[in-house]
Every structure is written in C-alpha cells, then in structure tokens.
Amino acid sequence: MALYLNGFKEENIILASKYIRDGKLVAFPTETVYGLGANALDKIAVAKIFEVKNRPNFDPLIVHISNKEDIYKYVESVNDDVYKLIQVFWPGPLTLVLKKKNIIPDIVTAGLDTVAIRMPSNPIALKLIKYSELPIAAPSANPFNYLSPTTANAVLESIGDKIDVILDGGKTQFGLESTIITINEENQIILLRPGALEIEKIEKLLNKKVMLYSNDKILSPGQTKHHYQPHKKLFIIKNYKQSNANKLIKKIEKQFDINKIYFLLTFKNIELEQYKDIHKLNFTIDYLSKDDNYYEIASNLFEKLYIADKSDKEIILVNEVAKESLGLAIMNRLEKAATDYIFLD
C-alpha cells in the first residue's frame, strides 16, 4: 500500500521528493487534478507509470517543471507567443506541446518529437518538483480511461496498492485538467484539449484565434473517444431548463426505472425535488452547482461523477452546459464519459 502523507507538511514533501529521486511513483495534487509522478528523465520510473495506469504506451505524458526558465532545458525553441503565454499563464493550467530536446526520453513522449510541458500552480506540486530537482512526468492519477481524481482518496481507492506515495493536498482547485495547445509552422495556436484555462483568455492575450483541432488523425493520443468513462451508463440531457422538468420526468419514466437514476444537475430545480418527495421516489438528485456556475461545475465534475459511479443507482444523468469558456472543457469530458443523449424539446 502507498505511504499516505499529509502534503501540507513540508517534511512530507521533502520525503516524497526523495521517492521521486529514487525512481518511485508519487501521486501529488496539482491545481487541476491529481498527477501520478515519476522522474521524467528516468525511463524505468516512467515505464512504471504506464504499468500502474494500464495505459497503452502510445500515450505521451506531461512534463511538470517548477520554474519557467526550465522550459529552455527541455524544448528546442520558445517563440514570442510561447514566451507571452508562459509569462501570463504559468504557473497554471496551461500545457504547451513543443519540439523536444533529446534529454527527454522517448518513453515520456511515446516516440513523438514533441513534449508536453507545464508549470503547475499548486504549491505542493511546485515544492515537490523543486525539492526533487527534477522534471516530473505525470499523467492524471487514474486507471486508463477512468475518471480523473480530484481528491487523494480517489487515488488511494483506485491505484493506492500499486504506487509508492500519495501526497494528500485536499481537493484540487479546478477539478479539470489543463488546457493543452500546440503551435504549428504557420504560428497558429491549435487546441489539443480544452481544459481549465479558457481559450478566450489565450485569444485575448495573443490577439489571434485558437484553432479547434478536429481531424481523423489523433494529434493528442490521449484524446480518444471514451477517455473519461465511469463504469455506469451516463446520459447527457440536452436542452434541460427550469421550465421543462416535467418533460424530463415523463421522458425518463418512459425509458428507465426512475428510482435507478442518479441526477447530477448544474442548477437547482425545485420541481424535480418536489416530485421526488410527493411520489416518495428514491432516485438521487445532486448538484454540480446550484446556479450554473462553471467554475463550480468544473471543480465538482470528476469528484461527483466518482461518487455517482460508486452509488447504488444504475444510470447517471447530467444536463449539458453551453460550450463556451470553461463549458467547452466540461462538455469535452462529459461527451467522452457519455453513452448517449436524452433530448428534451
């Protein structure tokens, strides 16, 4: 079983950094989700990450650094846009995919000639990297294709018996992974994965559009269709509004046994709660946010999906949000988690 350490204690971070230096695996909090870290320069240590995650080894990892200047050690060149981006958004939830230097082992990048790099803002993560004096390669600390962990407990329960250390830093701030971008030869910014940093902010800073990557070729290998799947069936409710709760209930009762439903909604709906009480039903209603606050929804998303997935209900229903600002990343994760849609008109 992993050594479970309180990450708010300096001596525990120092201890964990020794494990990193020894080629061991340490789960640690970042501002986005928990990462499963290893020395990025140690091929054997990195190979253990793939083994624990059961991750196909064509899926490259993000390299985490603790100060901006370290980017020059690992990437070939930093152009003006990249420079601006890291001045403004690092430390923080932005990952850059750039041409790598040879020092980064191929196993980290799955043989690609680019490396994904970011400087996280979580103080425990920053100290862990700093004390280990190494770049840390880390994917999200979940089994492959499962929900990403936003608490140390979720890490413990899913892979705690396979790793060396868990640094508990409480619930993560954003609850969604970093935004990943790359820059092509024409100096266009291409979005590889929507995430905790809104693309609108990138566009404003650079004064250019971020291109949404859509192509048959999977540029970011981890972005497969079913990447964030809970074990239970998840349906996305389209066009759910305060005014159509009745329609939702009718539709659901036609299709499912309503008592087996776990509703995970983004705004409070009294009608649905009253219907449950009046008819003495025992479906579950929980809220990602009570008033459609996207930061709140994002920070609760994986945690609440995880709880729903472990509950005694059989089907999880989540209503959609608009695909703008953080909603883009929220819907990206939900669409990958979903089995199908429920349409309301």
**Between 34 and 262, whose beta carbon lies closer to ligand TXA?**
34
112 touches, from ligand TXA, Mg ion, none (C-beta below 5 to 8 Å by class): ligand TXA
Query: Can you give the binding site for ligand TXA, defined by CB under 6 A?
Result: 30, 32-33, 35, 59-62, 93, 95, 97, 109, 112, 114-116, 138-140, 177-178, 180, 192-193, 219-223
C-alpha 335/C-alpha 316 separation (Å) is 13
**Residue 117: CB minimum distance to ligand TXA, A:** 9
C-alpha 103/C-alpha 108 separation (Å) is 11
**Between 319 and 332, whose beta carbon lies closer to ligand TXA?**
332
C-alpha 343/C-alpha 42 separation (Å) is 49
Q: In the numeric block, which tokens belong to residue 127?
A: 């100290």
Return the exposure string of 307-342: e unless at least 16 CB atoms fall within 10 Å of the residue's CB, then b: ebbeeebebbbbbbbeeebbbbbbbbbbbbbbeeeb
**Between 33 and 248, whose beta carbon lies closer to Mg ion?**
33
Return contacts of 156-163, CB within 8 angstroms, 24+ apart: 156/2, 156/4, 159/27, 159/36, 159/52, 159/53, 160/1, 160/2, 160/4, 161/1, 161/2, 162/25, 162/52, 163/2, 163/25, 163/26, 163/27, 163/36, 163/52
Residue number of the CB atom closest to ligand TXA: 222
169 touches, from ligand TXA, Mg ion, none (C-beta below 5 to 8 Å by class): none
**Residue 96: CB minimum distance to ligand TXA, A:** 10
32 touches, from ligand TXA, Mg ion, none (C-beta below 5 to 8 Å by class): ligand TXA
**Residue 180: CB minimum distance to ligand TXA, A:** 5
Phi and psi, residue 45, nearest 5°: -60, -40
**Between 220 and 266, whose beta carbon lies closer to ligand TXA?**
220
Residue 69 has what DSSP assignment? G
178 touches, from Mg ion, ligand TXA, none (C-beta below 5 to 8 Å by class): ligand TXA
**Residue 209: CB minimum distance to Mg ion, A:** 27
C-alpha 165/C-alpha 132 separation (Å) is 14
313 touches, from ligand TXA, Mg ion, none (C-beta below 5 to 8 Å by class): none
221 touches, from ligand TXA, Mg ion, none (C-beta below 5 to 8 Å by class): ligand TXA
Is the distance from CB of 165 to CB of 12 less than 8 angstroms?
no
**Between 98 and 308, whose beta carbon lies closer to ligand TXA?**
98
**Residue 121: CB minimum distance to ligand TXA, A:** 11
**Residue 266: CB minimum distance to Mg ion, A:** 23
**Between 93 and 327, whose beta carbon lies closer to ligand TXA?**
93
249 touches, from ligand TXA, Mg ion, none (C-beta below 5 to 8 Å by class): none
Residues 97-156 that bind Mg ion (CB under 5 A): 140
Measured CA to CA in angstroms, residue 67 lies from 72, 86, 90, 91, 173 at distances of 10, 10, 9, 8, 20
Is the distance from CB of 281 to CB of 258 less than 8 angstroms?
yes
Determine if 332 is a binding residue for Mg ion (CB under 5 A).
Answer: no
Is the distance from CB of 43 to CB of 50 less than 8 angstroms?
no
Q: In the numeric block, which tokens belong to residue 69?
A: 């200047």
Binding site for Mg ion (CB under 5 A): 140
